[in-house]
Every structure is written in structure tokens, then in C-alpha cells.
Structure 1
Amino acid sequence: MRIIHTSDWHLGQNFYSKNRAAEHDAFLDWLLSSAETHQVDAIIVAGDIFDTGSPPSYARELYNRFVVKLQQTGCQLIVLAGNHDSVATLNESKEILAYLKTTVVASAGVQPFMLYRRDGEAGAVFCPVPFLRPRDITVSQAGLSGQQKQQHLLAAITDYYQQQYVDACALRGDKALPIIASGHLTTVGASKSDAVRDIYIGTLDAFPAHHFPPVDYMALGHIHRAQKISELEHIRYCGSPIPLSFDETGKSKSVNLVTFADGKLAEIAALEVPATQPLAVIKGDFAEICRQLEQFRHAPTDKPVWLDIEIVSSEYLADMQRKIQQVTEDLPVEVLLVRRSREQRERILAGELRETLSELKVEEVFARRLAQETLDEEQNRRLQTLFSETVQELDEENEA
């Protein structure tokens, strides 16, 4: 049995006003080719197929076109919802896609099922765990402290995984089949990037890896950097197929090719995704920025390099943006982001420099306001929790 584990496509992402359709189209074509080349039996997409709950039409077209083309290869597709995905959006085409060897799991409650090899024989048992929303797996209880809520949710997620595993074992019976599970969440110790929006499931920040059941392979999504968790070979994030933030620049992107033999995990190989849109980050004062920009003087003009410029300057950011725009007018680059250096941003937090709200995230604005209050540790933690829950609820409303 051979699968490809991928996640966090974020089809329809608006990247500083730039459309990613060409990059996603190239990735999906490459994924189809890879599935054929490696004779893959199933592709598992571990959440965040779309970037928003209401994806643009071209993103839906990319998704549907991929499903149709993949069906022609004989490979099975399993699509799981992430925190960016709308349950309603994924479910609207669920029944139609089922006729194209595609299983869509948009919410909790789906029982384990068989994955089949291309020859029609059972190849593995799959535990389909999408992004778990608290309302799907817990009952609200009044009077619980923050810590009690966290423990309550942790127990609920743990129980959900354990029940999936028990059901998978029953479905497997005495057959020598591996058990594969999925998840879309943050685990303890995972390394994130700027594009990863923190999931505060109730008050739970991260799920301990040792609470996962003893499956043969855990296909995780949500973290955009490929990595194994707690030094365990079988618990993996595959990462996003394209860079979704500038801090992912220069890091190779991949999907995991996972092979099972004799009912057990045999090999995990990273298949590197070809990069189709050049990104770059340059840093320094204005003179250093100008010097570094010259490296792009003779770069190909068909694919202008998208730039993130971190500049050291005491001037207003708008003034620096105008100067940089003049310098780059005749270069094959597009400046998508101009921001102050990390050191200056830290000084901004201390109120030492002039700033604009466009430079701050909503979390930073809240943190700055909170820092002005005189609160004890418990009050501080409580307000941070309430803020995180409010942001999560607003996100879910926007995605509905």
C-alpha cells in the first residue's frame, strides 16, 4: 500500500493582493504526475484545502478539475477539512465527488473505513479525523475554570482518537493491514511559520503527541513546515506545497510518499515540490537594500521575484515605500511587503518609534493594550483566553 500525504493547499489564497492560481495549478499537475509515477493508491489531504470558507470560483475549479483528473489514474482521494475550510462548502459537492473515488470528511463523526489498492484489494484502515471543533466533541459545562476547560477538551480529543482506533481495529479484524489516522491541529513541539493561524480549540493550545493512539502512520495538517513530532517517525506534518508566508522563503516544500508492507510502515520519502514562483527576503538599511536589489537586475522577466523588504529606518514607513518603489521600477521584481526590521518592531512595542496600524497584527494590538493594565497572572491568562476564543468564533462565523 502506498499513499501520498499532503495538506494545507490553501487554494484561493490572497498573498499581499497576489493570486496564487498559477502556483497551485502547477502543483496539482505535479501531484497528478507523482501519483502516476509512484503508483500511489491513495492521496490524503489533511485539511485546509481552501484558504477561506468562501473560496473564489477559480479555487473551486482547481479543486474539481484535480478530482476529475485523479479519478482517471485509479488513485483514491481523501479530503479532510481544516480550520480554514467551511463544512458547508466541502459538503456541497461531497455526494457527487463520491462517484469519483473521493471521500470528503468535513466534520467529526465519520467512522473508520478501508483504503483500497489500485488492484481493488484492501490496503489499509483509515481513521478520518478532520479539524475538531469543540462543539462537535464536547458539551459545554458552566463553572469550569480555564484549566478545567483545557483538561476537558484534551480528554475529549483523546477519547475521540482512541474510539477511532478501537473501531479501526475492529474493522481490520485479523487482516494484516496498517492503520492510518489524520488530524488538523497543533501538536506540542511543532515548529510554526507566520502563515499558520493559531488554533485555540476552546482553551487548548497544542495536543500532546503521546495522546495519539498507536497507529502505523499519523498524517497531520495545519503546520506549514514539514517535520516529524517528538522524534517519532510515524507522526508527521508534510507542510504546505507552496510557501504561504515570506518566512517560508528558501525552504523546500514537499509531500510525503508513505509505503506500507506486511501491514506495517515501511518507508517515508519526501517528494520535493518544484517551486514556480520566486520569493525573496532582503534586509538592511536603505543603502544595503539598494545594493541587494542589484542581484535581480538580470533575473528572468517572465516571473518577477516577489519581495519582502525588512528595512532599518527611523523614517515613516510610507516614505520608505515610495523610495523603494522608485529604485525597483526598472527591475524584474514586485515588492509585496515593506516592513521594519525585527529589532525596530520590538522597539515599536516599547513605544520608541512612530508606527502605523498596518504594521501590526490584531494579536499585537491586543497584547500592547493588555500590557498597559496592572493584572495578576490569572487575570492576564483569562483575558488572553477570552480574546483567543473570540477571534476563533469570529473566524468560524466568517467561514460558515
Structure 2
Amino acid sequence: MRRSLLQKNMLIMSFLVIGRLIGFAQYSNVSVEKFPVQMNIVHVDYRDSSTLVFVSYTSQKGVKYCTINDRACIQIKNNNKKYRLIHSINLPINSEAEKNYMLFDSVGQKHNFVLEFEKIPTAQVFDIIESEKDPNSLNFYGVSVDTLKRDGFKDINNFVSSTPVKETGSYIKNGNTVYYINSNNIIVSISVHVISQYGKYFNVNVDVKNFSGKSILFSLSHVKAEGYFYIGDVVYETYPLKVLTSTEYDKKVSSRQTLNNVLLAVGEGLSAASASYSRSATSYTANSHTVGGLYGNAYTSTYGYANTVTYNSAAAYVAQQNACAICSNYANGQNAIRQQLNDGYAKDNTIQNQTEYSGSFNIKYKQSDHFKIVFTIDDVQYPFMF
């Protein structure tokens, strides 16, 4: 479950205070029979109400993320009882409802975190199990703590503060998936849709929350996007995708609306002109009689139709007025849409501490296997892959 920054800070502070007020026993001499190659248990803290496990992580090649599932637990050897995970400090917890991960920027990056489980008996060999079905899970087997050598108090805040978490994840809101990255107390959240509105685009809704303690700048000039084509798992082509500023998109809207207004005006003008005239058709029969012909008297009948076109000035005036009203209402509606789009379009903004900024922007659509959007805020990159 995601927690607010204030909740996380309060949680760490509560550990610091409780650790000094209640009994605890900390041990650094820890051995493990089998464990993930990138992880190492460096400390175990037996407290009156829980057990804390201090873990150091080193990112490996090809691994971008780290997390722990909310169903992780401790199991004592030869004991079927499970001691559930209560909290995770500096490592996101993954659940069915929310997908949360630690995002690594480079291979060999160090990261420290602390896992709090329900209190377990001391001097017992135990396993930490995230998922026995997944060999890549955070599983430690045969954890043994040397309780003969007791250490002094280990400060949780000092342990985790040197490796701040860069958290990424997703959750569902009103049927839409929202993706976020939290780094240095700056949270960037986005959702992406394909739209056909005055062109075809990836429409990005973005929200930036600033708890960094200083003002930050959001600018679309610091947003980059690129598409990818794959053969199997190998990227064989990448290309940049155009991120439109509010001015660039407004020009496209204005141009398309002008064309729409012209086409409507032409159509309504033709309709009004047609309504100014009335047409009627009459049939007629003409007979002729010739006397004394070669074969005697001759009789001839002629049949035909006569079309009459009548111009009605009153009808022309009414039709023209109706056409003007339709065009005017349409143009006003188009202007309102343009204004609404421009008002909601993301623009450069200074985001002060403890405030947030929301908007949307468009990326020119192009078919691809995957595409990436990278925000750069305060010299930190926030990459999103789709």
C-alpha cells in the first residue's frame, strides 16, 4: 500500500523513538544459507513487538526494479506458523491493488532498506519468503543470527537515508491506469491515451506534486519521447516522437477549426441559396388537325412538361439568416473548445514547495512496439515506458 511522505516520515520517527523506549536486541553477525545474489542481510533487530531485518541491495545488470510483495513472511524452521510483513522502510511494497517498485538508475547502485515482521522467537533459524513459486523473488533461506554477540542501537534513518528510494508504480483510478515515479520527494504521475482530436496523438495527463522543500520548474522543453521497434527482445529501431507545446497544438486546432468553419459556411450558403428558389413542373397536351392530306384528314397530339423556377426574396432572407446563425453558433462552439483545450494544456510552471500542478499535453502519434516518455525535473529523470 502506498503511503504519503508524511506518513513514511512519521513511521521512521516512530521506530526511532520506540527503539529507544522499549527493549531491543540487535545483531550484525548474520549468516544465510541461500539468498538472492544481489542482497545481503546486514543486521537483525529483535524488538518487544516486532522483528526488523536490515538489508543491503546492489543492482545487477538487466535488473531495473526491486520490490517486495505484501504477502511476504518469516517462517521458523520446522514450524508452520507464518510471521507476516508489517512494514517496509525505503523499499516499496507490491500488492494486487498497487504495483510499486524501486527504480534503479545504474548497474551496481547500492540501496538499503528495512523490513519489519511480526515478532519472532530469538535464536531460531528462519526463512524470509516472498514467493516460493518465483525463483527471482526476495527469498532468504536458513537465516541464522549469532545472539551471543549483541550490538548497540542501529539507527534506521541513518541506514536508509544514504540511499533514498526512487519509487515507481501504478494504480487504477476510475478505470484508468495511473503511473507514477517518486524521487527526492517529487512525485510525477501520468496517464496516457490515444486520441483523435485535430490530429492523432498520445495524450498525456500529468500531475506533479512537490514536497522537495524548494520550488521546481516544470517545462515541456524538458520532456522527451521516443518510440521503439523490436525483433524478439532486441531493439532494432528507435526514433524521436514530437512533444507539442501549447502554442504548437493551438495552431493545429486553429487551422483545423478555420477549415471546418469554411466548409460549414460553404455548405450552409449553398443550402440557403437553394432555399431561395421554388420549382414547379406542369404537364401539357397540344392537338393539331390537318385537312385534305394525301391520306385524308390528319390529327396530331403533342405531350410535354414545363418547369418553372421562382425566386422568393422573403425565403432567401430567412434562409440566409438561418445559415448565418448556424455558422455563428458553430464558430462560437469551436472557439469555446479551443479555449478549453488551451486552458487545460500543460505549460511552463514554477511549482512551489508543497503544491502541485496538473495539465495535459500531446505527443504526435506514430505506430510502435513501445514508447518512452522522460521528464527531467530538477536535473532528475523520471522515465515511463509503455
**Normalising by structure 2, what TM-score?**
0.21
| Larger helix share, 1 or 2 | 1
| Larger strand share, 1 or 2 | 2
Q: Which has the larger radius of gyration?
A: 2
**Normalising by structure 1, what TM-score?**
0.21
